[in-house]
Structure 1
């Protein structure tokens, strides 16, 4: 498998402010809805424009959050997104009690918010994680189930993993404003090698799952750190079908945190992706990449 960077775009809102901490993206309303993990607004990238979309109400009066301002502990940390029949679903990482919300944006624009704290707690218990180790950073829909990816910290002995949930029950509860049922349907543990941890996921037409991954020198799931390497992998369940390094972008290794399918060849051997890069710096615009993937081997018989 090979990966090529076709284009690089700096994401800036129409008023000139940067799109910060682009942590997930999903197709929405004829464009791409990008989550900012340290803000209550997302960004809709469409037809050459980038406009804000409110996803959550202010948190204790704040719409943006940072360590420098002493508000990082309040940030919603929407780290995963996927498209459902009801609209765009965005999910908090669960790495702190403030990061356990789900947001569903309907095609017409209505926004629904739900608390997922009991679901996050059940996922942590199912994966056998200690307090502070949960960090769910990617999601996609596989066979009608929500497949939610635990990033992990392989260098510290916390592997990447996934858990399947009842997507229909979750979406119905978010739309209905009720408690979200846990609905655990299965788990899997991943080993991508080289201490790579999963940062996002998208399902391919043949049922495989393409994940973005990176190594980051951080002590825990809360702190950011320098990125050492980055890659894309294609998974069949917990098996790694293919793995390829992500080329440097403008001479630097970058952490892709959001990935979505733009097109894919009928042969299944490759296609084009849209991806977002979080610079971990509120003053630096996030990047929108277009990637060409080729040479993907077929599923094993």
Structure 2
């Protein structure tokens, strides 16, 4: 599997302020909705514009949270952006990481008369159910990515090999999850499938762990992964390398490094599929550099799949 970086662009809102900590991306209307894991607002990329979309109310009067300011513990940590539907209309499902009690909320963003409309609810019982299915204590839960598989969302726990936690996923039915986020049913009613576990290897002694996922037309999945030297599910650490992995079920078919750009390792945390054409998968990726002063990057990635796995 070969990976090419075709273009890298810094993301800024129309007022010039940076989009930071981009952690998930999914189509919204004719554009893309980007989740920021350090903020209560998302970024909507559309018509050569980048506009804020309020997803959650301010926390302690703040909309952005940093470790330097001592406010990181307050952040909602929205890590997942996944395509969904509300009453037959396209929507984006945003989900928190679950790594603390504050990070267990879900939001649905859809367009009404061309403008984003958001509904939010707490999902604590669902996160507890997911942790139980994965066999993890709550303080090891760190749900960072998701891929859409028909009527299912495959929800990925990042894992941390240094802490003995492998990357893994569970399937959750959309027809059960969407009504919960809309406030129509209870979070405890959502069923959670059996776990899948992924062995992605390591780089320089640091384990690769899943940061996001996207489903290919043939049903296989491309995972983004980062080798981040972090002691737990909350603290950041140095990122040694990033990669994409092609998986079929639990089987890892191929792993390849994402090329560095100007000597810099970009920690890809969000993946969206643009198209599959001429034997190449075209992806739009977004980057969280764990730096509140650096605009997140949008990267056009092109993936040439191994010829031994043509499907």
TM-score (norm 1): 0.95
Query: Is residue 153 of structure 2 the alignment partner of residue 146 of structure 1?
Result: yes
Using the TM superposition, name which of 147-156 and 181-190 deviates more: 181-190
Shift of the alpha carbon at 1:300?
8.7
Give the equivalent residue in structure 2 for 1:81. Answer: 81
1:244 to 236, 256, 260: 256
1:106 is paired with a residue of what secondary structure?
strand
2:95 to 81, 88, 91: 91
1:192 to 200, 219, 222: 200
2:193 is paired with a residue of what secondary structure?
strand
Q: Deviations over 1:31-66 (max 9, x none)?
A: 111111010100011222111111111123221111
1:252 is paired with a residue of what secondary structure?
coil
Using the TM superposition, name which of 205-214 and 41-50 deviates more: 41-50
Equivalent pair of 2:24/2:36 in contact (CA under 8 Å): yes
Using the TM superposition, name which of 68-77 and 144-153 deviates more: 68-77
Equivalent residues in 2 for 1:13-92, closer than 5 Å: 13-86=13-86, 87-92=91-96
Give the equivalent residue in structure 2 for 1:162. Answer: 169
- CA distance 1:299–1:187, shift in 2 (3 Å): farther
Query: Is residue 296 of structure 2 the alignment partner of residue 289 of structure 1?
Result: no
Q: Deviations over 1:77-116 (max 9, x none)?
A: 0001110122100100000000000010013222110111
2:217 to 205, 212, 216: 205
Give the equivalent residue in structure 1 for 2:126. Answer: 119
Between the aligned partners of 1:213 and 1:129, the Cα distance in structure 2 is 20
Shift of the alpha carbon at 1:193?
1.0
Equivalent pair of 1:21/1:38 in contact (CA under 8 Å): yes
Work out the number of aligned pairs and report it.
Answer: 299
1:126 is paired with a residue of what secondary structure?
helix
Shift of the alpha carbon at 1:126?
1.2
Between the aligned partners of 1:189 and 1:140, the Cα distance in structure 2 is 15
Q: Is there any run of 5+ residues in structure 1 with no aligned partner, and where?
A: none
- CA distance 1:298–1:285, shift in 2 (3 Å): same
Q: Deviations over 1:116-156 (max 9, x none)?
A: 11111111111111231100000111242110000000233
Q: CA RMSD in A?
A: 1.5
1:182 to 170, 183, 190: 190
1:100 to 104, 107, 115: 104
Q: Is there any run of 5+ residues in structure 2 with no aligned partner, and where?
A: none
Q: Deviations over 1:172-219 (max 9, x none)?
A: 221244422231122111101111100000110000111100100111
